[in-house]
Amino acid sequence: MNAALAAQEDAVTGREHRPGRPRVLLAPITVTPSKPLTPSHLKGLLWTDVMYRASSGLADVTYRYSPTTYHLTEQTLGFWEYLDRTVGDADYSGLSEEQIGEMYVGYRAEKEKAGAGALRPYAQALEEQGWVHPAGARVLELWTSHYARLGMHDPGLMAHQPPALGAEESLERLSALGFCLDLRACGGPVYLDATRYGLPLRQIVDSGGRPNYLACMMRELLPLAPSFDEVVLLYDRELEADYHLVERVLAASGTTVRRVVLGRVPIDGQVRSARHGGWQGNTVGALLEEAGAECDEAVLRLGMRLYFIAALGAGQQQSLRREVLHQSLARASKLLSQGRGQGSDVAPVAEVLARHRKDHLHVNPYRLTSSLLARHRPAPTRDLLEAVYL
């Protein structure tokens, strides 16, 4: 391990490494705070949460999820500029996710977006002062309450967590690794270049200097990844090509990368992007309000994980089905009522978790969660449920 990089990682995450334990970095794709959380978002978040909590029983795990890093994308800054231009100095503190999401749908439907010059002051305020638009701050505040109700680890939704590398520093590091094609000198964009591996060029900074999410990801992961024994990337299936590029870049710096690909959750047989709406009545807030009315906190937390991890699996073949969700809640209630103590004849939690690692350092959420539902097996211990699911 490079001691300087390890020290940098500790400074960024605030964690100390315990000698003798492997280091794992979980880096799921970050949801931009411009719309309500949907079932697809919740699926990814619950997979990550169970992976984090289970793997932490066997390794030192850093869960890196920084909205700050990705605020710089046009998707977010453009929305903030749109709100200031069309809505003005509004009070967002009483708005719901759905109300702000409707504004975002309006922004995405706009034919002409603001240019780089209009977004520059927003980027500067974010980089220099950690400023967040009130609409974005309100959405993150609402998400924090969802995390708390579901018992999910909050990786710092409301915290200012800037990436360790500046924009130019990250491009310099990409160049040193042989992955950067920079055409800015002639008025062009910047590309992530892995063509020597048979992968297509991917633009990461446009000719106006605006970064996309991959450029932001490089600023975050390039300095962090080498400090870890394993980096786990969790992302939507639609981003497969981009994450192949990310894996190539990180592997070039000696990092062991594991990719976990998750399908989205169809609604009535269709996979829709949240940017186009269609989530009304099917948001995480709506599901929690509906499910929470019929069960207590522990049943809600375990039941949601049973459904979104074990019942839906990693693919996207199954649409959201409330009757199956309710069945998962009922199964959670039964498991909790049957839960055993940690007796002398029961395997320790760490031993149970280790069965679901295979050849990697992180625990597989699907294998672990599915094992809770296996027939002819004893009910899980309360210690396991408390450590990972409640």
Q: What DSSP letter does each residue of 258-309 carry, written as one string?
A: EEEEE----BTTB---GGG---TT-SHHHHHHHHHTTS-HHHHHHHHHIIII
Q: Is the pLDDT of residue 3 over 60?
A: no
In the structure, what pLDDT confidence band is assigned to residue 341 with cuts at 50, 70 and 90? low
**In a shared domain, residues 252 and 124:** yes
Are residues 14 and 154 both part of a single domain?
yes
Residue 271 lies in a domain: no
- Split into its structural domains, the chain has a count of 2
Task: Tell me, yes or no, whether 288 lies in a domain.
Answer: no
State the DSSP code for 215: H
Are residues 142 and 52 part of one domain? yes
The pLDDT score that the predictor gives to residue 2 is 39
| CATH number for 52 | 3.40.50.620
pLDDT reported for residue 343:
55
**What is the percentage of the chain residues whose pLDDT exceeds 90?**
81
Which residues span the domain enclosing 336? 295-388
CA distance 54 to 364: 9
Mean pLDDT of the chain: 91
Query: Do 31 and 132 share a domain, yes or no?
Result: yes
250 and 381: one domain? no
Whether 333 and 255 share a structural domain = no
Clarify whether residues 249 and 301 are in a common domain.
no
282 assigned to some structural domain: no
Whether the per-residue pLDDT at 197 is higher than 60: the answer is yes
Residue 177's Cβ-count burial label (10 Å; 0-12, 13-18, 19+) is middle
Q: pLDDT band for position 233 (50/70/90)?
A: very high
- Per DSSP, the three-state class of 185 is helix
Write the pLDDT tens digit of every residue in 47-95.
Answer: 999 999 999 999 999 999 999 999 999 999 999 999 999 999 999 999 9
Verify that 237 and 345 share a domain, yes or no: no
Tell me what the mean pLDDT of segment 235-254 comes to. Answer: 95
- Distance separating alpha carbons of residues 33 and 210, to the nearest angstrom: 19
Judge if 79 and 21 occupy the same domain. yes
Q: Is the residue at 273 inside a domain? A: no
Do 255 and 117 fall within a single domain? yes
* Confidence tier at 5 by pLDDT (50, 70, 90): very low
On whether residue 216 sits in a domain, the answer given is yes
Confidence of residue 6 (pLDDT cuts 50, 70, 90): very low
Q: Quick one: 32 and 149 in the same domain? A: yes
In a domain, 277, yes or no: no
> Are 332 and 379 members of one domain?
yes
Q: Is residue 274 part of a domain?
A: no
Residue 361 lies in a domain: yes
